[in-house]
Structure 1
Amino acid sequence: MASLSMSPFYLETERRDASFQVLSTECLMNRSCITRPYPIGPSSIVVKQSSRYCHSTQRYFKRTCIKQPKVYQQRWQHQTLKSRAKHCDSAYGKEEGEDISKATLIWRAVKLPIYSVALVPLTVGSATAYLQTGLCSAGRYFVLLASSILIITWLNLSNDVYDFDTGADKNKKESVVNIVGSRTGTLITAYLLLAFGFMGLTWASIEAGNMRSILLLACAIICGYIYQCPPFRLSYQGLGEPLCFVAFGPFATTAFYLLQSSTSELNYLPITGTILSASFLVGFTTALILFCSHFHQVNGDRAVGKFSPLVRLGTKTGFEVVKVAVIALYSLLFVFGLSKALPLTCIFLCALTLPIGKLVVSYVQENHEDKTKIFMAKYYCVRLHALFGAALAAGLVAARMVSRKYIPSPLFP
């Protein structure tokens, strides 16, 4: 027996058995062992026949080799999906059973980036007035800014109240009504803010001696009212974007332009192609924010009968609309520049915002079917709106500094 155990034939058999066990274990953990060399022992026979041994081991352990990797894969996928869902919930407020701090909810309810829609029309309108007259009243600018912020707050609060009434914000934790627990208190606060804001706008109009501006601002506020308030609620008919364009573009931007007139030198600024072109671009980017804010609310809007453009078109067609809108925005910019309605400095500076415009398009293209990620699309549009508006205003101011004189061609005296 001793001589048999030490014989070369016995040693070779032992090596083969050991190699067979190792290969069997590897096949249980990794099915790719068929193409993987295992240099066990000096014998080349083991390496050459490893594929045959692995095949026989797979047949023998067929059930285990098939099921075990699936178990590991399912566990990994479950943990990955769970962690992703937790991240998305904390980022976008989609938690169902998890509590969120009140401070976080309040921050989301404030919607601070959205207040750029109050800043941009005022800044662009004032910059257009500066281009023509070389004058700008800083005190009046800040009064108008504070008044505009109060009115935008009215829009946000009243929108939460009326969406709460229709059930659109029933499960929206960052809704102001859900946070404070009082629909009536929220609505009263909203209309008090509207009253104070309108008083500030009226005071600025009287000081500037230009009553046409208050009429334009009143039309802008009326657009905001019929957009969301009963009995009109035109946003539920898909008319929110046109109303938003008109209110923040031609109405508000042109009114702020008129309010920067100086009573000592010029009582009435004429309506020129420059202010109309600038206000058109401002309204265009503002409406794009509203359009992209509907992407993650399609199912909820449809459930309560709110036929937003994306409910009617679908998210895939909605992406095409966003793409065409961004292309149209920059195309109009160059058209206005070539027609000399806007100074070349505006064209140059606004063209620098092309990367953020491209980012909006690519983000919507990649995530228009992902309800959690597409939530951020409206904030990318806010960035485009703010940067484009800042570049437009800077271009108007720079044109005045370079030329020192601007002779407009008035459309309406």
Structure 2
Amino acid sequence: MMKLVSLSDINHGFVPKKPTDLFVKPRFRSFPETFHITRSTVFDSSARENLNAKRRRDHLRVGPIFCKSYGDTSKVYQEEEIPKAKLIWRAIKLPIYSVALVPLTVGASAAYLETGLFLFRRYVTLMLSSILIITWLNLSNDVYDFDTGADKNKKESVVNMVGSRTGTLAAAVTSLVLGVSGLVWTSLIARNTRAILLLASAITCGYVYQCPPFRLSYQGLGEPLCFAAFGPFATTAFYLLLGSSSEMSRVPLSSRVFSSSLLVGFTTSLILFCSHFHQVEGDLAVGKFSPLVRVGTERGAFVVRWAIRLLYSMLLVLGLTKILPVTCTLMCFLTLPVGNLVSSYVEKHHKENEKIFMAKYYCVRLHALFGAALSLGLVIAR
């Protein structure tokens, strides 16, 4: 009398917890003849019984199916709606702008340690220019990932949100032109050609990382490029610009400055590495062979754990050899709990896309705090 009902027939996504929760309510219509519904064997092989069952089904109309609702169980089959404000926050990527401030602040602190100078107006100009450069990186990355299909299902992509690839690319190019103008102007004032060459190298790394025809990030070279751009290139360039004055246009490059830039580059690359954990499937689908695509998330979690250990081991060696001031070593070691948080979080949630998304923000927190501690240590050492 009744047909078997599969879960695919249920329109509203409610899932019964047990078979008794599923009710079938037949609705009968009046017919010219009177029919008596009798109990019959469901799996009877008799042809006559099958014929009688067919006749009964012809005159029996079954109404809609009702299931008991269990609150939020329908969310298992429905994608969670992300609030617009949260999408805008993700698209802006405000915490990521720490990668512009940390190299600049560490470079300024190193300049103060070596020369005793702190050029506030020049610092502000370089900060605004750096923010514009990072804006170009973020917007152009969204544009080119949209072109390749890597951001097809990424709701917080700026291109997907505004619905205009051309407008997003125009905003990216404008940010690049304004940012480069500020950097060149400051370099001319400081009369330091080494600095502008280093900054040009950093921007070139950003371009070949994501822009056609290079797109070296698709070959798994994003992390080395990120390390060079924000570490030795940008941090050293900012040191040169903020340590130069009318009396001293050529400031010396010391091992303290270089080692500080290596630490900045290391923590910045860690952000990029962890930002790929929740994108492995999408990257693989479009041929983007990031390091995590190549090694998998389980080995990636292992890499993160040892990268954190390597970071603090480097810090200890630089402190013991007195390449870095002891104040830098002590201040930076105060961030060790945050480093352990990053390692344990990635190790625990590397298979859960919804949770591992937060790993890059924990890395941003480590990057910002480590950079602030390093800068403070350099200033105190003066």
- Shorter-chain TM-score range: 0.7 to 0.9
> What residue is the counterpart of 1:34 in the other structure?
none
How far residue 104 of structure 1 moved from its aligned partner, in angstroms, is 3.1
Asked if 1:337 is matched to 2:319, the reply is: yes
Asked if 1:242 is matched to 2:247, the reply is: no
- RMSD (CA atoms): 2.2
Unaligned runs of 5+ in 1: 1-67, 87-93, 401-413
Superposed CA offset, 1:107-129 (max 9, x none): 21000000000000000001001
Mapped partners of 1:289, 1:158: distance in 2:
18
Is this contact kept in 1: 2:99–2:268, CA < 8 A? yes
| SS state at 1:269 partner | coil
How far residue 70 of structure 1 moved from its aligned partner, in angstroms, is 5.4
| SS state at 2:183 partner | helix
Correspondence for 2:370 among 388, 397, 412 = 388
> What residue is the counterpart of 2:132 in the other structure?
150
| 1:351-366 mapped onto 2 (5 Å cutoff) | 351-366=333-348
Mapped partners of 2:308, 2:218: distance in 1:
25
Correspondence for 1:266 among 248, 268, 272 = 248
Cα distance change of structure 1 residues 159 and 397 upon mapping to structure 2, 3 Å threshold: same
| SS state at 1:328 partner | helix
| 1:184-195 mapped onto 2 (5 Å cutoff) | 184-195=166-177
> What residue is the counterpart of 2:101 in the other structure?
119
Cα distance change of structure 1 residues 315 and 142 upon mapping to structure 2, 3 Å threshold: same
Mapped partners of 1:376, 1:130: distance in 2:
35
Mapped partners of 2:195, 2:244: distance in 1:
13
Asked if 1:202 is matched to 2:184, the reply is: yes
Structure exhibiting the larger radius of gyration computed from Cα positions: 1
Unaligned runs of 5+ in 2: 1-15, 23-66
How far residue 81 of structure 1 moved from its aligned partner, in angstroms, is 5.8
Asked if 1:287 is matched to 2:269, the reply is: yes
Superposed CA offset, 1:123-160 (max 9, x none): 00010010011111000000000000000000000000
How far residue 261 of structure 1 moved from its aligned partner, in angstroms, is 2.1
> What residue is the counterpart of 2:44 in the other structure?
none
Asked if 1:322 is matched to 2:312, the reply is: no
Mapped partners of 1:209, 1:154: distance in 2:
26
Cα distance change of structure 1 residues 362 and 82 upon mapping to structure 2, 3 Å threshold: farther
Q: How many residue pairs end up in the alignment?
A: 323
Cα distance change of structure 1 residues 208 and 84 upon mapping to structure 2, 3 Å threshold: farther
TM-score when normalising by structure 2: 0.81
> What residue is the counterpart of 2:282 in the other structure?
300
| 1:398-409 mapped onto 2 (5 Å cutoff) | 398-400=380-382
Asked if 1:349 is matched to 2:331, the reply is: yes
How far residue 309 of structure 1 moved from its aligned partner, in angstroms, is 0.4
Partner letter of residue 126 of structure 1? A
Is this contact kept in 1: 2:108–2:243, CA < 8 A? no
Cα distance change of structure 1 residues 233 and 269 upon mapping to structure 2, 3 Å threshold: same
Q: Which has the higher helix share?
A: 1
The sequence identity of aligned pairs, in percent, is 67
Is this contact kept in 1: 2:228–2:265, CA < 8 A? yes
TM-score when normalising by structure 1: 0.75
| SS state at 1:266 partner | coil
| SS state at 1:260 partner | helix
Is this contact kept in 1: 2:112–2:243, CA < 8 A? no
| 1:48-87 mapped onto 2 (5 Å cutoff) | none
